[in-house]
Amino acid sequence: MAEFPDWLQPMAATLTQERFAVPGWVFERKFDGIRMLAFKRGDEVRLLSRNRLPQSHAYPDIHAAIAALPFRNVILDGEAMGMFGEHAEPLYHVFDVPWLQDRDLTRLPLSERRDVLEGLPFEPPLVLVERITDAAPWERACREGWEGLIAKQVDSLYEHRRSPSWLKMKCELTQDLVVGGFTEPKGSRVGLGALLVGYFEGREFCFAGRVGTGFTAKLLLELRARLDALEVEKTPFTNAIDLPLAAHWVRPEIVVQVGFIEWTRHGKLRHPRLLGVRRDTPASEVVRASR
């Protein structure tokens, strides 16, 4: 008989900029709450955050619901929403079951753990996280205002670390930006390293950061050829912090569309990726649209 653990490190998802829907992967809604492990051993119940902080005082209804489960021992993994005392009803969105009735389930594939999970007698405030089966699940996520999605390999084991078998796809903002420069490629990369992009604010050309992902090799070479023809000696950015020391500067004429998670407090793009090159937008009309 396996020994019931006092604690286990929760499996964490790796942030990705990829968007895909292929066999062997399943998708779940990403909730913006408190990641919480629920431990029940006999009459003892503990609700612990990712950092092992006790949460039973904040979620007494969830604590009571775990205590009422008809199992001698169980560990559930999920996201808690609506803390006690808030207007919203507290809910525990459960997406995994690492342990049940003296069985360590962490070495089972996700598909088998999900079968176990779907057989558990959950009632609110315990809620089973639904699987998203849309052809383009991230489009639904962003359309409905979710924080994003978690993509999981169906045969993934429950790893006690941040794993590439679970991927975090956050909903993106999009922004048209103007290329003001670029860096040289490194290693096996061709064409260019990253685009240096910005937007206009009155007469100022403001630096918004570097965009280094989302390119094909063909596009890298095509952009390099276009940018070489626009090269100038001095930076066109008039309002800039943290410009790279080694860069090529260009006349700000090429407009690109960029996906990103958010603006940082320093006015830079967080996790940007190239979505495409715009040919229908004059550079002079590009302003910061997302605050």
pLDDT (tens digit per residue) in 208-231: 999 999 999 999 999 999 999 999
Tokens of 141: 């996520």
Q: Residue 80 forms beta bridges with which residues?
A: 34, 92
E strand or H helix at 67, and its extent?
helix 60-67
The string of pLDDT tens digits covering residues 127-175 is 999 999 999 898 899 888 888 999 999 999 999 999 999 999 988 788 9
Do 17 and 213 meet the contact criterion of CB atoms below 8 Å apart?
yes
% of the chain beyond a pLDDT of 70: 98
CA–CA dist 4, 105 (Å, integer) = 12
Residue 290 reports pLDDT greater than 60: no
Which residue is it, tokens 């403001």?
206
Residue 288 reports pLDDT greater than 80: yes
The band of 1, judged by pLDDT with boundaries at 50, 70 and 90, is low
% of the chain beyond a pLDDT of 90: 79
CA–CA dist 207, 205 (Å, integer) = 7
Q: For the residues 108-118, what does the mean pLDDT come to?
A: 98
Residues taking part in catalysis: 30
